[in-house]
Amino acid sequence: MSTRPEILFPLFSSLETLTGIGTKTAKAFAGLGIEHPRDLLFFLPYSGTDRKLCETVQGIEPLSTLTVEVEIGRHFPPSSKSRPYRIDVHDAKTTFQIVFFHANEAWLKQHFPIGQRRIISGKIEFFDGVAQMAHPEYVLRTDQFKEIPEYEPTYHLVAGVTQRIIVKSVKEVLGRTSSLNEWIDPELKQRENWPDWQVALHSVHAPDGPNDLSINAPARQRLAYDEFFAHQLTLALARAKVRRSKGRASSGDGRLQGAVLAALPYKPTQAQTRAIAEITSDMASDKRMNRLLQGDVGSGKTLVAFMALLVAVESGGQGVMMAPTGILASQHLENLRPLAENAGVVVEILTGRDKGKEREAKLAALKNGDIHILVGTHAVFQKSVEFDDLRLAVIDEQHRFGVTQRMELGAKGAAADVLVMTATPIPRSLELAQYGDMDVSILDEKPPGRKPIKTASMPVSRLDEVVEHLRNAINSGQQAYWVCPLVEESEVMDMTAAEERFKHLRAALGEKNVGLVHGQLAPAAKDTAMADFQAGHTKVLVATTVIEVGVDVPAASIIVIERAEHFGLAQLHQLRGRVGRGSVQSTCLLLYQPPLTESGTKRLSILRETEDGFRIAEVDLEMRGAGDVIGTTQSGLPKFWVGDLEHQAGLMKIAQNDARKLLLDDPDLTGTRGQAARVLLWLMRQDQAIRLISIG
């Protein structure tokens, strides 16, 4: 089925096919993200109004909505244009007034004939203790009473879209739905007491009261589950495709690993050992590995990656490791080379700066297998880069490497195993949403002997004190990063800020003691600056956020972050992770410009409270919402209309298991439930998934 099933056509036609919606309203709807009738189905009310019939206005709370039967009484036309038109109405117990501003007298006379009975519904206000209802929302004859819903849903609006249009359109779209074959596992559905799809849709748009609006209402849960299930099915299809594609069975004899481990000044942590074992066993199987290594900053992911790369080499093949920046790639080379060469392993680097003959030579060496391990930037994935026998691709620090890109990499067809590493701890629910297609290894332990980082915040007015403190620190042999503020996302402006601070600190701390690195520097200059700092020639490194990820200089024990309030939580956590890597006590100083916003205050105080990346990630998620935390567009994560990643992590997990299970039972989605699931994928616009089935 590579085209949309007909049963869904009416839901994907243009909005203008709905009664009363023209170009203008359709445009306005786009402001709510509603582009097709289908979208209206999943655009759920956020609140509701109780319109149950009452006997009287007596005893009602001000500003609440009242629905009541009344007899129309006297009319009081206004004495001047600026005053309202008033009409007495008598309910079962008392008299109050309905009020109209800028009213047409003739129209009112016709619609509110004295002595007749009407049912009116609207908001009650009190003026000088007298109740009134301005512009009733409903005015009906008593025989039309049924037209008022007892509980009326309220939807978010934008200019040009009224509640009435939404209610009416939703109703019309509901009429276009059909009962669809069930894609949810019958046992699950029964256990959770979830309604059928179509029933659920009707029910979420016709709540009986506030309980029906809660995310725990069965109908809402079911629809949330549908979204998660469709997403997990996409991920599971991608995963299945990778696993089905032939992998290479790479098993080493442990010779190189052993040599490297013996030369290390430390022992791997238990978490590292476990991750290495998981990866080694994946690589030994002839299924293609697709694994995520997640570990907080400083947890030692690099060693795990090296061990995996050595397996590739031990088994006679090659490995590649891609880093997001040239600085990181050089660092990997520096770290790996001495260890590897000891064991007879050849490591090279390839980045965008390799040009001409040198590049040719590297490419040739790679192709004939003379280079065993290649590290580099994204340049290593270019078409012209060919390997003799690539067995493992490691992608380091790619927290912004989304589902879509991963699928593309997978589609490249190489049989190489894939290991993705991320330092951004993300809450479980997001992890499942973003990495549900992968198997996950977690480094939940840091190397021993690390001292907690002391984190303090202070206003930037105390900068001179900070510089003084820094002078003492470097005199006693310490090293420090000085991170300059982010300026409006502009690298050029960042650079200016960094250069100014560089000059200032050089003047204060001595020319030779201070280095500078930022994104605008020539690659060679970056290398020199990093190398000088690494070797301890410079004591203070002034930097922009280019050092945010991965940079590892264990001797550095101080980090000063200027205008810390401008950074996001995750970023601050990453930056702070540059220190605390050795056994010395480290310090992080967060300099801010008062006054702090509420969110700024909260971010800085969480950072002072904890170093636990997972805890920080949870708070980040709470403060910013899921889309911002992973960057929805980049991550390829769909926008969930009903599902709530923050509060429905459990559902996401169930969806993942169920999706994987369904594919195990019915890999091509051709069975009854499989077919139903295809319809769901179309309904949820999971085009990628559909492509995966149609190709596969």
Q: Where do contacts with ligand ADP occur on this chain (CB under 6 A)? A: 266, 268-269, 272, 295, 297-303, 423, 447, 550, 552, 554, 581
Q: What residue 554 binds from ligand ADP, Mg ion, none (CB within 5 to 8 A, per partner kind)? A: ligand ADP
Q: What residue 323 binds from Mg ion, ligand ADP, none (CB within 5 to 8 A, per partner kind)? A: none
Token code pair at residue 583: 């056994």
d(CA 88, CA 70): 10
Q: Judge contact between 92 and 40, C-beta under 8 A.
A: no
Give me the least distance between CB of 578 and ligand ADP, in Å please. Answer: 9
Nearest residue to the partner Mg ion, using Cβ: 550
Q: How big is the CA angle at 660 (ends 658 and 661), to the nearest 5 degrees?
A: 60
Q: Which is nearer to ligand ADP, 300 or 638 (CB)?
A: 300
Strand partners, 68: 54, 120
Q: Judge contact between 245 and 658, C-beta under 8 A.
A: no
Q: What residue 300 binds from ligand ADP, Mg ion, none (CB within 5 to 8 A, per partner kind)? A: ligand ADP
Nearest residue to the partner ligand ADP, using Cβ: 300
Tell me if residue 287 falls in helix, strand or coil.
strand
Q: Which is nearer to ligand ADP, 348 or 548 (CB)?
A: 548
Half-sphere exposure of 326 (CA within 13 A, CB side): 21
Q: Judge contact between 294 and 397, C-beta under 8 A.
A: no
Q: What residue 447 binds from ligand ADP, Mg ion, none (CB within 5 to 8 A, per partner kind)? A: ligand ADP
Q: Which is nearer to ligand ADP, 296 or 658 (CB)?
A: 296
Q: What residue 272 binds from ligand ADP, Mg ion, none (CB within 5 to 8 A, per partner kind)? A: ligand ADP
Q: Which is nearer to ligand ADP, 44 or 543 (CB)?
A: 543
Neighbours of 489 (CB within 10 A): 7
Residue 424 gets the label, from left (phi > 0), alpha (psi -120 to 50) or beta, of: beta
Q: What residue 299 binds from ligand ADP, Mg ion, none (CB within 5 to 8 A, per partner kind)? A: ligand ADP
The contact pattern for Mg ion, residues 550-589, with x = CB under 5 A and - = no contact, is: x---------------------------------------
Q: Which is nearer to ligand ADP, 99 or 561 (CB)?
A: 561
d(CA 25, CA 161): 7
Q: What residue 485 binds from Mg ion, ligand ADP, none (CB within 5 to 8 A, per partner kind)? A: none
What's the DSSP call for residue 20? T
Give me the least distance between CB of 550 and Mg ion, in Å please. Answer: 4
Token code pair at residue 581: 């890597």
Give me the least distance between CB of 219 and ligand ADP, in Å please. Answer: 44
**Amino acid found at 265:** P
Residue with tokens 């009310």: 45
Residue with tokens 């020539």: 522
Burial 68-89 (b: 16+ CB within 10 A, else e): bbbebbeeeebeeeeebbbbbb
Q: What residue 122 binds from ligand ADP, Mg ion, none (CB within 5 to 8 A, per partner kind)? A: none
Q: Which is nearer to Mg ion, 424 or 429 (CB)?
A: 424
The contact pattern for Mg ion, residues 537-556, with x = CB under 5 A and - = no contact, is: -------------x------
Give me the least distance between CB of 268 and Mg ion, in Å please. Answer: 15
- Helices vs strands, H then E, count in the chain: 26, 22
Q: Which is nearer to Mg ion, 226 or 552 (CB)?
A: 552
d(CA 293, CA 282): 13
Give me the least distance between CB of 24 and ligand ADP, in Å please. Answer: 53
Q: What does the binding site for Mg ion look like in residue numbers (CB under 5 A)?
A: 550
